């Protein structure tokens, strides 16, 4: 049996726990040297003690594969999912606070993308709302970590720049995308993605989560735990 200490550390970290600092090694109980056995025993003891303090409900949520609850996959011909020109031809778009949070996120994160990339970012935000590891409303998802250095989930909420809206045509289009997606249009572009990043950065989680899609400068990933 092989046990990666890094994998164990990642598992505990996602539960809000941590292991003592150790080297990144892989130990084999059939071929490993005798000197590693005490260390592995210590690590497993720490794991057992730590997991015993984690509520059973949280462990179950983390162990259960993620299945989007409200996205209807595979309906790419849904007439509600409109092209950029179709969106531009619609009347003014309006909505409640949750709608505005989603529209602002699309504006500051994806207004430079084509319409597919904008729908894709909306999918990620709504997938997070449905995911047990994230808050239950759009505004809470978008603003999670805001105000804490390096902790914000969406860069525009903590980049220090004023959130001013000048491109009214983009706001009009994105407001309708928000309404369409909030009303239950299919999420079949990103295959359940919960993360994305621009092509010029390389976050650590991108080495762990499976890549599901790319639209424009954004690469999408699905969280696995």
pLDDT tens digits, 8-37 = 444 444 444 444 333 323 322 333 344 545
Give a yes or no: residue 76 inside a domain.
no
* Predicted pLDDT of residue 47: 53
Task: Please indicate, yes or no, whether residues 59 and 88 belong to a single structural domain of this protein.
Answer: no
Q: Which residue has the higher pLDDT, 91 or 3?
A: 91
* Predicted pLDDT of residue 111: 95
* Predicted pLDDT of residue 150: 64
Q: CA 87, CA 100: separation in Å to the nearest integer?
A: 17
Give a yes or no: residue 71 inside a domain.
no
pLDDT tens digits, 163-194 = 889 999 999 999 999 999 999 999 999 999 99
Q: Once rounded to an integer, what is the mean pLDDT over residues 205-224? A: 94
Side-chain-side CA neighbours of 134 within 13 Å: the count stands at 25
Q: Which residue has the higher pLDDT, 77 or 48?
A: 77
Q: CA 216, CA 203: separation in Å to the nearest integer?
A: 18
Give a yes or no: residue 212 inside a domain.
yes
> Which of 53-57, 60-64, 214-218 holds the top average pLDDT?
214-218
The first and second tokens of residue 112, run together, are 């430079």
Domain residue limits at 14: 2-63
152 — pLDDT class (breaks 50, 70, 90) = confident
* Predicted pLDDT of residue 157: 82
Task: Please indicate, yes or no, whether residues 130 and 203 belong to a single structural domain of this protein.
Answer: yes
Task: Please indicate, yes or no, whether residues 89 and 54 belong to a single structural domain of this protein.
Answer: no
Helix or strand holding residue 26 (H, E): strand 26-28
Q: Once rounded to an integer, what is the mean pLDDT over residues 134-150? A: 87
| Burial profile 120-152: b = 16 or more Cβ within 10 angstroms, e = fewer | bbbbbbbbbbbbeebeeebbebbbbeeeeeeeb
Of the candidates 110, 4, 65, the residue with the CA atom closest to the CA atom of residue 210: 65
Q: What's the domain count of the chain?
A: 2
Give a yes or no: residue 68 inside a domain.
no
Task: Please indicate, yes or no, whether residues 166 and 56 belong to a single structural domain of this protein.
Answer: no
Q: CA 36, CA 13: separation in Å to the nearest integer?
A: 23
Helix or strand holding residue 166 (H, E): none
Task: Please indicate, yes or no, whether residues 133 and 195 belong to a single structural domain of this protein.
Answer: yes
The single-letter DSSP state of residue 204 is: G
Of the candidates 205, 200, 207, 197, the residue with the CA atom closest to the CA atom of residue 120: 197
Listed range (59-73, 108-122, 182-196, 211-225) with the worst mean pLDDT: 59-73
Mean pLDDT (the chain) is 76
Task: Please indicate, yes or no, whether residues 54 and 95 belong to a single structural domain of this protein.
Answer: no
Task: Please indicate, yes or no, whether residues 56 and 94 belong to a single structural domain of this protein.
Answer: no
Task: Please indicate, yes or no, whether residues 89 and 181 belong to a single structural domain of this protein.
Answer: yes
* Predicted pLDDT of residue 224: 83
Task: Please indicate, yes or no, whether residues 59 and 91 belong to a single structural domain of this protein.
Answer: no
Dump the DSSP string for 84-141. Answer: HHHHHTS------HHHHHHHHHHHHHHTTS-HHHHHHHHHHHHHHHHSTTS-SSHHHH
Task: Please indicate, yes or no, whether residues 96 and 188 belong to a single structural domain of this protein.
Answer: yes
Give a yes or no: residue 73 inside a domain.
no
């Amino acid at each position: 049996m092989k046990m990666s200490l890094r994998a164990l550390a990642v598992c505990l970290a996602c539960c809000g726990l941590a292991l003592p600092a150790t080297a990144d090694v892989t130990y084999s109980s059939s071929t490993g040297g005798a000197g590693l056995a005490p260390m592995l025993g210590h690590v497993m003891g720490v794991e057992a003690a730590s997991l015993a303090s984690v509520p059973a409900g949280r462990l179950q949520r983390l162990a259960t594969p993620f299945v989007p609850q409200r996205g209807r996959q595979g309906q790419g011909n849904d007439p509600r999912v409109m092209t950029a020109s179709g969106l531009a031809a619609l009347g003014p778009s309006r909505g409640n606070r949750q709608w505005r949070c989603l529209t602002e996120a699309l504006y500051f994160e994806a207004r430079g993308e084509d319409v597919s990339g904008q729908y894709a970012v909306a999918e990620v935000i709504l997938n997070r709302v449905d995911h047990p590891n994230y808050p239950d409303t759009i505004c809470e998802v978008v603003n999670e970590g805001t105000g804490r250095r390096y902790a914000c989930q969406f860069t525009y909420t903590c980049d220090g720049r004023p959130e001013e809206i000048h491109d009214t045509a983009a706001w009009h289009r994105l407001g309708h995308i928000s309404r369409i997606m909030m009303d239950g249009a299919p999420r079949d572009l990103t295959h359940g993605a919960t993360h994305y990043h621009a092509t010029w950065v390389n976050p650590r989680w991108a080495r762990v989560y499976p890549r599901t899609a790319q639209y424009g400068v954004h690469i999408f990933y699905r969280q696995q735990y």
